[in-house]
């Protein structure tokens, strides 16, 4: 218990030393700021691709969690095994994500 407390104290103390990076507000006009953020989010590039990917991933996860559970239950798969199937799904996603990042690094260089 003492070791865990000491181990957790490090990040806790470190958190009090963090300082937010200085930044300047580009405009005092709220409408201009909203337009700038919207243009940045939907402009072609990595941010837009990330926004689309995260949206699709959230929808796919929601679909898998809520729809597959009933589908597997109707297929006589016990709820106990659902966690193993879900873990296998997440491993497949992690492996494909890792492979994608490797392929992307190879195509860039």
Would you give the end-to-end CA distance of the chain in angstroms? 48
Is 109 a residue whose pLDDT tops 60? Answer: no
pLDDT score recorded for residue 104: 67
Q: What is the pLDDT of residues 60-90, one digit of tens each?
A: 877 777 777 777 788 888 878 888 888 888 8
> What is the DSSP-derived secondary structure letter of residue 17?
T
pTM: 0.36
Is 94 a residue whose pLDDT tops 70? Answer: yes
pLDDT score recorded for residue 79: 79
The Cα–Cα gap between 13 and 11 comes to: 5
pLDDT score recorded for residue 105: 65
Whether residue 12 contacts residue 5, with contact meaning beta carbons closer than 8 Å, is answered with: no
Tell me the average pLDDT across 26-53: 83
């Amino acid at each position: 218990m003492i070791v865990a407390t000491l181990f957790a104290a490090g990040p806790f103390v470190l958190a009090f030393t963090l300082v937010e990076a200085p930044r300047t507000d580009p405009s005092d006009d709220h409408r201009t700021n909203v337009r700038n953020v919207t243009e940045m989010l939907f402009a072609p590039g990595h941010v837009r691709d990330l926004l689309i990917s995260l949206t699709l991933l959230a929808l796919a996860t929601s679909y898998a969690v809520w729809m597959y559970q009933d589908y597997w239950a109707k297929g006589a798969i016990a709820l106990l095994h659902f966690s193993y199937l879900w873990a296998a799904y997440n491993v497949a996603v992690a492996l494909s994500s890792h492979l994608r990042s490797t392929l992307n690094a190879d195509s860039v260089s």
